[in-house]
Amino acid sequence: MNHSNRNKNIVFLSTSLPRECGIATFTQDLLDEFTKLQGFNKPHVIAMNNNGNYRYTDQVMREINQHQLSDYIDAAEEINQSDTDLLVIQHEFGIYGGESGEYLLQFTERLHVPYVAIFHTVLTNPTPKQHEIITRIAAGSVKVVTMAQSTVDDLISVYHINASKIAFIHHGVPFVKTSTRAELKTQYKFGERKILSTFGFLSPGKGIEYAIEAMSGVVKQHPDALYIIWGKTHPVVKQETGEVYRQKLTGLVHELGLVNNVLFVDKLLTQEEVIESLVMSDIYMTPYLGKDQAVSGTLAYGVGYGRVIISTPYRYAQEMLADGRGLLAEFRDSASLEACILELLDNPAKVRDMEQRTQALGSTMMWSEVAKTYAAIFQDKIALSKPAGRSVI
């Protein structure tokens, strides 16, 4: 039977909403775009579960208990016997079971269906186990995807993956139609204040304390400046240490007398609220502490909406803010952050130029465009893949 003209069936292996996880959001955004593309049936998800009791929609075809090895084996067998044309694996070490997520190998090495691996973390100095996992996943894949140009070289030099197997695709950004910056400031009752912001799950690695300390100097020259920290504490952090980090930050705000210049919005933001928080911002900040971070979804969103960005020089920020798209401050250095903020607040013409430069790149990162790139790769690999492991009699 000739199946070449029928719609293709794609399955994602990933965390899935309503689990509070950036990869779950990434997968949902990509999946939603695929429902609009010709040539594909509505994709499904095999949901990685961390013992949470989630109320999944019917797009989830089955679950895998992260720490139950037999679930991986059973899921692989189910996929092999299904009409799945291609499996897409969202890879992040922490969402799979075993040392560094090694249980995933029991799944991939039993698959007869072709798969694409999307690597959300590419480490320059992996442990031997992490190195083994990435190289074995890549070896069995028909394509691997990375979301930063800088990590392409790492996949080749550190993990010895053939360059022809690697695709660089920008992190997608959802399109949400919003009011203007001025209208949103009025709507949120911020008037004409200069808004600086950070959004995402709160955790100690975000370096928010240095941005708060920077505001102490900024407000002496710009007393109307307001730094808004949008988002709830990361679920894993909250489970392990409660609200210790948030309490440390709020204590610092009071200590520095910044209660009128720093605002915490302690909630899980809707997609619309995330985009509105960005659109109303004059400056977006990611003062992160980890210098090797290869991808940041929040920074990608900031670029996608053409914000002027101040960041510490982790790998993804260096790449995305090149060519005048933002400013880089030193790690763990509030004075450096303060200098960058003042440079922008004191120079509106520079801000306008940076916004134009950033928007030029950001316009290419909307999910509607990014999904087309994925779709072309998926169609190509499905067409080239033989029905391995299936009877032809």
Task: For the chain, report the end-to-end CA distance as a whole number of angstroms.
Answer: 11
Q: How confident is the model over 316-325, as pLDDT tens digits? A: 999 999 999 9
- Model pLDDT, residue 185: 97
Same-domain check for residues 103 and 50 = yes
Total of domains in the chain: 2
Same-domain check for residues 277 and 208 = yes
- Nearest-angstrom CA–CA distance, 264 and 195: 13
Query: Hey, which bits of 54-169 come out as E strands?
Result: 60-65, 86-91, 115-119, 143-146, 166-168
* Both tokens assigned to 294: 């290869």
In our burial notation (b when 16+ CB lie closer than 10 A, e otherwise), range 191-219 reads eebbbbbbbbbbbeebbbbbbbbbbbbbb
Residue with the two structure tokens 């919005």:
265
Name the residue range of residue 60's domain. 10-172+367-384
Q: Is residue 249 included in any domain, yes or no?
A: yes
pLDDT tens for the chain, 393 residues long, are 345 678 999 999 999 999 999 999 999 999 999 999 999 999 999 999 998 889 999 999 999 999 999 999 999 999 999 999 999 999 999 999 999 999 999 999 999 999 999 999 999 999 999 999 999 999 999 999 999 999 999 999 999 999 999 999 999 999 999 999 999 999 999 999 999 999 999 999 999 999 999 999 999 999 999 999 999 999 889 989 999 999 999 999 999 999 999 999 999 999 999 999 999 999 999 999 999 888 999 999 999 999 999 999 999 999 999 999 999 999 999 999 999 999 999 999 999 999 999 999 999 999 999 999 999 999 999 998 855 443 332
Please tell me the pTM assigned to this model: 0.91
Q: How confident is the model over 200-220, as pLDDT tens digits? A: 999 999 999 999 999 999 999
Same-domain check for residues 218 and 336 = yes
- Model pLDDT, residue 367: 97
Q: How confident is the model over 3-22, as pLDDT tens digits? A: 567 899 999 999 999 999 99
Q: How confident is the model over 30-59, as pLDDT tens digits? A: 999 999 999 999 999 999 999 888 999 999
- Model pLDDT, residue 390: 39
CATH, residue 203: 3.40.50.2000
Chain-centre distance for alpha carbon 11 = 20
CB 176 within 8 A of CB 275: yes
Same-domain check for residues 192 and 165 = no
* Both tokens assigned to 281: 């911002």
Same-domain check for residues 166 and 189 = no
